[in-house]
Structure 1
Amino acid sequence: MESAVFNLIEDLDQSTTNWKIKARVTRMWISVSSENGSVEGYTVILLDDDNNHVHAFAYLSIWNGFKTLVIEGGVYVFDQIFCERCCDLFAEANKYQPQQQPEFAIDVIGVIENFEPLTKLDTKFGMLKEEGYLSKREKYLKAAKSEFVQTFMERMTLKDLNEKLTYDDLKKRIYTTFSVVKVDEDVAWWFYSCNKCQQEVERLDRRFRCNNCPRIIPVAPKRFRIMVLAEDDIFSCNVMLMDRAARRIVGTSAAKAYNDFEKAPEKGLPQVLKYLVGNEVTVIIQLNKENVTEDSTIFDANDIFDTTTQSPSPSKSAHILESSFINFSG
């Protein structure tokens, strides 16, 4: 019920000046006046439990009035927030005067002038490139290229998936098309996940423990895991719509669906999940060892390959782009 108290970042717009959000400060820096060098305030990047970021600014008088010391990585409640519309860079660029240099974007903060030609400098280990030295990234790309095998998407029907699978099938990229007949209300449709490995975590009072990493984390985002009865022309079985696939079909996040559901009077399933029934979708199936060794007939759909119908629940993913800069009004 705590999430119902706060607004999500994707909900923020210019309709009010009293938004209240709970977010993590992922980055922060001092904003200095270009005229006299005085500190004007603090700029922060905020992240909520729906994995949405927003750029925010607090004037120095507001910042100094905070009762709690704000540090990077900390989670805080911010209220009395208002949004400002983003600047249109193309419109600003068209305002250049003839004597200005339009080849430089307006967000460039510095230009190198009078630099000398590049030269090679010896390190204490010699000329590493000439001696075959590779960075970690170059080693990874070289290994990936040498081991790369061209993979193709292979279409399977639900009946094909329920036939005897082999270990070779685990290496295939498989997609299948089906209609959603039913959403299973007896299986939890969301879970708390680790923000690093995205596996399910265990709740410990006000913290969470990831047994996969393993580590303790203060905030765990909600992710979809929706069990549906899938049916094509000749067969039916259970398919688990994992977070990426589910988000793209229903057009919203698990945190937003949960937040709306907590405010709604009906019980059972959120309305956006009820909209799934009757939709025909084409998904990418990620086979696991249980599908091969234990004849598990529950298949994980981890992404959408294509959709033949549009979701009746429109996405708000672009909403914050119109008002993606926020201020603390004090």
Structure 2
Amino acid sequence: MVEGGLYIFSNFYTKEAMGTLRPKSSEYIINFSNSTTVQKIDQDDFMIPNHKFEFVDLSELFALVSGYENVKKPKLSIDIIGVLEDFENVKTIETKFGNRQITKFRITDGRYSNKVSVWGDLAATTDEMYAKIKDRPIITIVTSTKLQIWESSVQISTLPSSKIYLNLENDFVKEMRNRIEEEGYKSTPENIIPSLVETSCTPIIIQTITLKELIEKNTAADLKKTFLCRVKVSSVEEEQNWWYLGCTKCYGEAIKPEGKYKCSNCAHVMPVPEKKSNLLSCNLRFKLVVLVGDDTEALNFIFLDKCVKRIVGQTATKMIVDHPKVDTQTGYPKKLKDIAGMELTLSILINDDNVSLKSQIFEAVDVCYKISELSSPSGAKHPASSVSTFT
């Protein structure tokens, strides 16, 4: 088998995953037996993504490492994404394992920063890739990393299973690039929280508030701020469309005012096939209207694409394929209906309407889980807790 190839596996068996520093949070692994057959398929399948990651935000790393039961051998290895800065060219150093190649750099999301050490052949490969990359900033994905605390900061190291991608062409990289451009990211030390770089790695905690307190977050000082709310979903509004055609440039919603699909945010015009059977090749994204509540208030939330993908564990395109009513944006699939009744901790972004119009309809941009909830079915509180993480 060749990495990146498409195959059909038959007559295999599964068992519980064992060991530490696992690259995925699944509790089960696939095993081949003497009767297993592997058939290569030459045609492409756009429904299967070329890459799958389970990212952890840089802001969560310190709390994650602090909670390890076995610091030297944690259960999971970690995928991270951020901007590459302060790259050091590859060099050879003497270690207790003999001479090894190493390269180092800093990875940041504009607020948090961590040092990364890349070892072995991957160090030389990364050095070659970096020399060829011209576009800046360089959005970097590092998979299967090992974390440890050293001098009050989280240090990131690669493992034999690690991979590094620079400016990978996918939605995760595009989304981060758009975000840092909107926020005016600059490659300067002033952007980085000093306590995380020099002395302490205690992260800034995003405030958890009630829905009643959320209503009051409507001043100019609150704009673009993020808050956490613990809520229970009362109902999903099935009269509203559950997906939309997303702009390929900025991820705004595409509309068709004059016979052409144009982004309502950046006015980018997109060539979209008219036949609905070809719609699946487009950039479809989730958008749900739900009623949520806590002990203090009940409000309408809009669950955006990343939030819904975390909950249901698949893309809008894949859900349309699984759903018999491909030609309609209504007729809700069962997985979306099942969100009603879930208890979730949501990341809420205060937008322009919340401030200028005092709108009480809030956007849930993400749903938060602990890594232990993702990797341990016994700790799950609802069906969403055991799904894979998207970013």
Task: Give the TM-score normalised by structure 1.
Answer: 0.51
2:50 alignment counterpart: 53
Cα distance, 1:224–1:12 mapped onto 2, change above 3 Å: farther
Matches within 5 A, 1:106-145: 140-142=186-188, 145=191
Q: List per-residue Cα deviations over 1:52-100 (Å, max 9, x = no partner).
A: 337xxxxxxxxxxxxxxxxxxxxxxxxxxxxxxxxxxxxxxxxxxxxxx
Larger Rg: 1
2:295 pairs with 1:233: yes
Tell me the amino acid that sits aligned with residue 220 of structure 2. Answer: Y
2:241 alignment counterpart: 188
- SS of the residue corresponding to residue 153 of structure 1 reads coil
1:290 alignment counterpart: 353
Which of residues 9, 15, 24 is equivalent to 1:14? 9
- SS of the residue corresponding to residue 257 of structure 1 reads helix
Higher relative contact order, structure no. (Cα contacts within 8 Å, ≥ 6 residues apart): 1
2:223 pairs with 1:170: yes
Shift of 1:22: 6.3
Cα distance, 1:248–1:19 mapped onto 2, change above 3 Å: farther
1:302 alignment counterpart: 365
Structure 1: gaps (5+ residues): 1-8, 24-47, 55-100, 113-138, 319-330
Cα distance, 1:229–1:194 mapped onto 2, change above 3 Å: same
Shift of 1:160: 1.4
Q: List per-residue Cα deviations over 1:81-121 (Å, max 9, x = no partner).
A: xxxxxxxxxxxxxxxxxxxx998649978999xxxxxxxxx
Cα distance, 1:305–1:216 mapped onto 2, change above 3 Å: same
1:254 alignment counterpart: 316
Shift of 1:146: 8.4
- SS of the residue corresponding to residue 212 of structure 1 reads coil
- SS of the residue corresponding to residue 309 of structure 2 reads helix
Tell me the amino acid that sits aligned with residue 305 of structure 2. Answer: D
- SS of the residue corresponding to residue 253 of structure 2 reads coil
- SS of the residue corresponding to residue 249 of structure 2 reads coil
Shift of 1:232: 0.8
- Mapped to 2, the partners of 1:110 and 1:296 lie a distance apart of 47
Q: Is the 8 A contact 1:252 1:317 kept in 2?
A: no
Shift of 1:20: 5.8
Q: Is the 8 A contact 2:228 2:348 kept in 1?
A: yes
- Mapped to 2, the partners of 1:12 and 1:207 lie a distance apart of 38
2:112 alignment counterpart: none
Structure 2: gaps (5+ residues): 11-38, 52-98, 102-119, 129-184, 196-202, 272-280, 371-379
- Mapped to 1, the partners of 2:345 and 2:243 lie a distance apart of 21
Cα distance, 1:146–1:243 mapped onto 2, change above 3 Å: closer
- Mapped to 2, the partners of 1:166 and 1:147 lie a distance apart of 25
2:383 alignment counterpart: 311
- SS of the residue corresponding to residue 262 of structure 1 reads coil
- Mapped to 2, the partners of 1:243 and 1:147 lie a distance apart of 29
Cα distance, 1:240–1:147 mapped onto 2, change above 3 Å: same
2:95 alignment counterpart: none
Shift of 1:21: 4.8
Q: Percent identity?
A: 28
Q: Judge which range, 178-187 or 308-317, deviates more.
A: 308-317
Task: Give the TM-score normalised by structure 2.
Answer: 0.44
Matches within 5 A, 1:9-158: 13-14=8-9, 21=44, 23=46, 52-53=49-50, 105=121, 140-142=186-188, 145=191, 152-158=205-211
Shift of 1:143: 7.8
Q: List per-residue Cα deviations over 1:249-271 (Å, max 9, x = no partner).
A: 1111111111111369xx83111
CA-based RMSD of the aligned residues comes to: 4.4
Q: Judge which range, 309-318 or 166-175, deviates more.
A: 309-318
Q: List per-residue Cα deviations over 1:33-55 (Å, max 9, x = no partner).
A: xxxxxxxxxxxxxxx6x8x337x
Cα distance, 1:284–1:10 mapped onto 2, change above 3 Å: farther
- Mapped to 1, the partners of 2:126 and 2:291 lie a distance apart of 57
2:332 alignment counterpart: 269
1:224 alignment counterpart: 286
1:28 alignment counterpart: none
1:71 alignment counterpart: none
- Mapped to 1, the partners of 2:388 and 2:7 lie a distance apart of 11
- Mapped to 2, the partners of 1:102 and 1:263 lie a distance apart of 56
- Mapped to 1, the partners of 2:368 and 2:264 lie a distance apart of 31
- SS of the residue corresponding to residue 156 of structure 1 reads coil
Tell me the amino acid that sits aligned with residue 185 of structure 1. Answer: E
Cα distance, 1:198–1:11 mapped onto 2, change above 3 Å: farther
Shift of 1:234: 2.6
Q: Is the 8 A contact 1:286 1:300 kept in 2?
A: yes
Q: Is the 8 A contact 1:290 1:296 kept in 2?
A: yes
- SS of the residue corresponding to residue 272 of structure 1 reads helix
- Mapped to 1, the partners of 2:126 and 2:223 lie a distance apart of 51
Tell me the amino acid that sits aligned with residue 182 of structure 1. Answer: S
